[in-house]
Amino acid sequence: MITLKSDRELAAMEKSGEIIAGMHQELRKIIKPGVSTWAIEEFGRNYIEGHGGRAAQIGFEGFKYATTISVNNEVAHAFPRKDLILKDGDLVKVDTVVDLDGAYSDSAWSYAVGNVSPEVQRLMDVTHEALYLGIDQAQVGNRLGDIGAVINDFVENQNGYGNVRDYIGHGIGPTMHEEPAVPHYGVAGRGLRLKPGMTITIEPMVNMGGYEVETSTEDGWTVTTADGSWSAQYEHVVAITNDGPKILTSQDPEFDAKYLL
């Protein structure tokens, strides 16, 4: 079911998104060589709960943690680990969902640990730009295929990376995952037409190599690239409005000025 949000509901989701944004802003100071991914988990959970939110991933389909923390060739959904210590040059992705009094927000971000190689920095830059190219297509009257088509063309045709297909964006609020499904590939002009009040996540996952991924048979959660190449991801919650797409999880009001409610 697709729910269309009122102005009041969008404002509530934006408040939820402010918690995630604040957490990510603080993680820029926390994530550095020598830090365990468990320390990131503890910080994230404490930040969310300390600001009145609930870490909504805990208990979702049996998941035990407030965050997923995926390193290098791990694409998504990896567990935080006490024995995984970040080192200089690593690429770490942190994803979480916040429930603030029934208003949901969801955001993943990629972080360079110390000094990353030019190749890794380029992967991050392309993935970040792909996110915003997708957001620009989240216009009233456009179709879901317009979002996916522009992302896939930029990632694969223009930059030669693998655009993950097995995991996609989704509607959000009043539940964590709802319709519509939001692929990061597709055909322009095809798919569901976007309407005011819809709220969706746009969250491209981009691999240095091929787009194929595998899920761990040991824990049933951790997704890695099939070819061992490294992967990056960025994610925002976006509201479809008559005034254009509005980011509800913005970390940088100056950069996102035209996308704010």
Over the stretch 52-90, which tens digit does the pLDDT of each residue have?
999 999 999 999 999 999 999 999 999 999 999 999 999
What is each CA distance from 250 to 54, 161, 247, 256, in whole angstroms? 19, 26, 6, 7
Neighbouring residues of 102: CB distance < 8 A, sequence distance ≥ 6: 12, 174
Contact at 8 Å (CB) between 89 and 117?
Answer: yes
* 203 labelled binding-site residue: yes
Neighbouring residues of 202: CB distance < 8 A, sequence distance ≥ 6: 131, 134, 135, 138, 147, 151, 169, 182, 184, 235, 236, 238
For 162-211, write each residue's pLDDT tens digit.
Answer: 999 999 999 999 999 999 999 999 999 999 999 999 999 999 999 999 99
What is the domain extent for residue 86? 7-259
For 120-162, write each residue's pLDDT tens digit.
Answer: 999 999 999 999 999 999 999 999 999 999 999 999 999 999 9
The per-residue pLDDT for 126 is 99
* 243 labelled binding-site residue: no
Q: What is the CATH number of the domain that holds 13?
A: 3.90.230.10
Residue 161 lies inside a defined structural domain of this protein? yes
* 179 labelled binding-site residue: no
Q: What percent of the chain has pLDDT over 70?
A: 100
Residue 211 lies inside a defined structural domain of this protein? yes
The per-residue pLDDT for 88 is 98
The per-residue pLDDT for 245 is 98
The Cα–Cα gap between 221 and 234 comes to 19
Beta strands 199-202; 205-207: pairing state? unpaired
Q: In terms of Cα–Cα distance, which of 54, 59, 84, 60 is closest to 72?
A: 84
Residue 1 lies inside a defined structural domain of this protein? no
Mean pLDDT for the stretch of residues 232-255: 98
End-to-end CA distance of the chain: 24
* 61 labelled binding-site residue: no
For 35-60, write each residue's pLDDT tens digit.
Answer: 999 999 999 999 999 999 999 999 99
Residue with tokens 């995630």: 20
* 227 labelled binding-site residue: no
* 235 labelled binding-site residue: yes
Query: Across the beta sheet with 169-171, what order do the strands follow?
Result: 178-182, 169-171, 199-202, 236-241, 244-247
Residue 2 lies inside a defined structural domain of this protein? no
Instruction: Please classify residue 139 by burial: count the beta carbons closer than 10 Å to its beta carbon, then call 0-12 exposed, 13-18 middle and 19+ buried.
Output: middle
To the nearest 10 degrees (0 to 180), the angle between helices 37-50 and 7-30 is 140
| The model's pTM | 0.98
Residue 202 lies inside a defined structural domain of this protein? yes
* 170 labelled binding-site residue: yes
The per-residue pLDDT for 131 is 98
The Cα–Cα gap between 57 and 99 comes to 9
Domain count along the chain:
1
